[in-house]
Each structure stands twice: as C-alpha cells, then as structure tokens.
Structure 1
Amino acid sequence: MKIIDAHIHLDFYNQYEINQILNLEFLEALVSVSTNLNSCKKNLQLSLNNRKVKAAFGFHPEQRPPNEQELESLIKWMKKHKDVMIAIGEVGLPYYLSKEGKVSEKEFQLYAELLEVFVKLAKEWDKPMVIHAVYDDAPIVCDLLEKYSVTKAHFHWFKGDEATIARMIENGYYISVTPEVVYKEKIQRLVQIYPIDQMMVETDGPWKFEGPFVDKKTEPTMIKQSISTIARLKSLSEIEVAEKVLNNTKQYYGF
C-alpha cells in the first residue's frame, strides 16, 4: 500500500522527525504546505533535498495578514519559484480567528482580498490550490473560485453544510480527509456523501488528533487507519481506497 499525504506542514517538524517521515517505505510523496514566506523558503529547500517532498507556497489565513511590503515580497518570491511549486497553498479565510472574535468585519475583508490575489495567481499560473475554508467561509471561497473560473481547488480537512458540499461536488473540487475520520461522526458523514473520485487523505501534521491517536506524534502512518475507515464507509476494500486516493492525488497535483 503506497500513500501520499496530501497536506502536511513538514517544515514544522524537527530534522530528526523529517528524516523519519521521509524514510517511511510506504510513503510515496507528501504535499508540504506553507504558512508564510519563511515557511515557503523552508519547504522549497525540503523539496530540493528529497524528491518525496512536493512544496506548495502561500500564506495561511489563521494569522495576521501580511502588510503591503510583506505581500509584495511573498508574491515576487513565489513568481520566481512558481515552476518548482506543486500548488498555491495553504491559503483561505480565517474561520477560527473569526470565531474567537479576533477578526473584525473590516479585517475579514482584508483576508478575502488576499485570497482573491491568490485565486488570480492560480488562474494566471495554471496552478492547483490548497484551501483552508470551513463552514460559513466555504461558500465565500466558492464564489471567488467561480468568479475566476478556477476549477482546481483542494479543500483540506473540510467541514460544511450539505448545500456547500453539493456545490463543491458539482464544481469538481477535491477534499482531503484527516485521521479525525476514524472517530468523528461528522467527518464520517462527509465521507459517505463525497465521491471517492474527488477525495484525498492527509494528516495536517504536526496537528495532534484525539481518539486512538491521543498523545501520539502525527505522521503519515495514521493515514492507514483513515483508509481503513473510508473503506468501511464506502463499502470498498482498503486496497481499492488506497489506490483511488493515491491516483486522485497524483492526478490533481500532476505528479
């Protein structure tokens, strides 16, 4: 069984942990997403050091947005290295910061404008996107993607209502499923609804999980249990699911 981790923050791990992850025999590749310019630079180097690492460049929305100079520097750097990046990501909207009351309506508009910049770049550069957008933020992102006719959208660790799920399926957007599927009913319901042909698997490591993964370091081995759960929910064999999500990821990201 070969596995691709479709969404991980590899640059957040220390070098010993990175070596352990990349030496996993079953791991064919991983998509290491970036949080800011410094993260982009680290992921570029990781991808140059090991062919298993596919780097995505972007700015994570769950933090203070970049000022004009910071954004200009990031875009300039991304343009210089766009031929080696697998995708634009992680980008999106700050649902959790907003939920905590840390983002005003005016500030939220800044995040939306920033995301629009990345959507335009995805269209211009013909790059797939790795998107952080859940619940009420997801329809806003769908509006932007539709506005610019961007069809290659990967909503990682997605959570949302049935109307948005139906819209995403119709538009051909992909989702990726974390180890949370093993113990969370709402994620299991999503898996039952969403087509297997538009599904990937991820860890979002080093994010820590609960259930059977309590106090365990997050790494791609956990994906095997995700695949087992998806297989049960979809009434498929584990091999069928593993091959399908592997091929889906290769097709989406073009490697």
Structure 2
Amino acid sequence: MTLKLTGVEHIHANGQRSLAGIDLSVAAGERVAIIGPSGAGKTTLLRILATSLQPSAGRYELLDAQPWALSAGARQHLRARIALIHQAPPLPPRQRVVTAVLAGRLGQWPLLKSLASLIYPLDSAGARSELQRLDLGDKLFERCDQLSGGQLQRVGIARALYQQAEVLLADEPVSAMDPVLAGHTLGVLTREAQSRNVTLLASLHAVDLALEHFPRIVGIRDGRIAFDKATGSVSPEDLRALYANEQLGQTPASSPVGQPLVVQIPRC
C-alpha cells in the first residue's frame, strides 16, 4: 500500500473543519481522480497527502512510514520521494524554465550539485526531454514570467516528471489549459504513472477528463468521501448528488474566468 488515511480530519486555525473522517487507501501504481465541488476539501486532502499539512486527527501512512512520527530530516527525505503539482506552480518569475525543471531533483542531489545546477544547468538535455513531452521543448531557456498560465502549469508538470517520484500528486494541474491540451497533458501524466508503476492522485474540476483518464474516482463533498468507485461504476446519479446546487451545463474547464462553476454531468 502506497498511502493510507484512517479517520483523518483537518480543522483550520479559525475552527472551520475542512476534512472529517477520511478513510482512503491507494495501492502502488493506482491512478485516482479526486472530484467534487469547490470548497469540498480536495486541496486540503492533497496537501495532507504531500505532508505539507499535518492532519488534526487520524492516522496517515505513506510509503511504509508515518510522516508525522518521523524527525524533520527523515520527513524531508520522504518528501523527496513524492511530487506535488500545484495549480499555480510557485516558480520565481525571473527563473529560467530549464532551472525550474531541474529543481525537481534538488531533494535528491548532493548539496554542491544542487547549488551548481542553480547557477549552471547540469542536465539541459534531461529537462528538454521532459518539456518536449508536453510540447514545450522550445521554451527551455525562456524566463517563467514570459509564459502563459497553461505553459507554467506544464513546466510544473515537467519538473514533477523529471523528479522521477514514486508518488505523483496533482492539484488541478490542467485548469489553465484548453480542453484539447488538458486531455493531452493528462494523458502524459497517466502514461508516466502506468509505465513506471507510479501512484497518481489528481484533483480535477473537469469531470469528463476524470472519467476519461482515471480508472478510479473519489468524490468529495463537505470534507467527506461521498463515493469511491471504479470509473465504470460511477453513475449520473452519483455525480448529480456530488454536485447538488452547482450549475449544470458546460464543462468547468471551459467556463470563462470569473464565471460561476459549471459542471457537466457526462452520460456514463
């Protein structure tokens, strides 16, 4: 078992509960999409899985260890084995794309090699290879502040792929991309996970993309798991209950920026 949550809860400093009684087990090599309305707790769940947020209660096991029972140093080594893809990658604006991608290995390289690579990229060919998979090979030496939002998301994904992590966690990784590019990018991620037997969990607003690319779907609503099913078993009724009170119609990924979330209920 790659990761296991038992009775996990999270309460914010203001007393608001974002997760309650989460039980979830994911085996090595599984590909799982996490879906649900905005504010359901998807990002909080991924931050806990990435060990960047400590649960308020419950037990979390990751790669045969309990992260919060480890020393800070041991926990940092554990984090080097997982990759978190952010919806808005935290990339310094003046940083070159090649440096951003190579940063995926900073937790694995010796300190001197890491510092040297920040000054002079040590594996430009490796960075270019990952970028080419995402149709960004020509952006290798561009500055991050010269890229669009969708390009920045793909740089963040390239960095995670270059890391060669055992667990890939992705928080709305294609939200700034058009539907065709989003589908292509998720295809790259899922094929990587399948070819290397890597565990992949991704939160997605676009239900159609989740159903197309992932064999297992976890629906979250109000901080609780509403359902956990094989994709073929997810029914329109499951989705309607999950997104109750959300507008129905077009796909969220294609909704104009600043407009209300619109959820398409695909025919299963």
Smaller-chain TM-score bracket: 0.3 to 0.5
Larger Rg: 2
Of structures 1 and 2, the one with the larger relative CO (CA 8 A, separation 6+) is 2
**Structure 1 or 2: more strand by fraction:** 2
**Structure 1 or 2: more helix by fraction:** 1
